[in-house]
Amino acid sequence: MTFAQVCQLLVREPFNLSFAQIADLTDYQIRAILFQHPADPKPAPAGVYRPPEELFERVWRRRGLSDDEIAEKWRAQQAD
């Protein structure tokens, strides 16, 4: 599947992502969005977009990590 075909899918229903939002997604995130199981929760509705770094931070903060630990995990995630 070409990048243009992926964009064509992501800008339509049910995803309604903008090109700026698509540009922020990693390959893993795109794969998760396109091939999620039907029973999985649907993506956030249009207009409720958060950058990947913010989502990462919020999840780990809820799990009780400190800012330094979250920053270290983010650096490790980006290195992969």
Give 48-67 pLDDT, tens digit per residue: 677 888 888 888 888 888 99
Contact 45, 18 (CB under 8 A): no
pTM: 0.43
The DSSP secondary-structure symbol of 18 reads: -
Q: What is the pLDDT of residues 4-45, one digit of tens each?
A: 888 888 888 778 888 888 888 888 888 888 877 555 555 656
What is the spatial distance between Cα 30 and Cα 36, in angstroms, rounded to a whole number?
A: 10
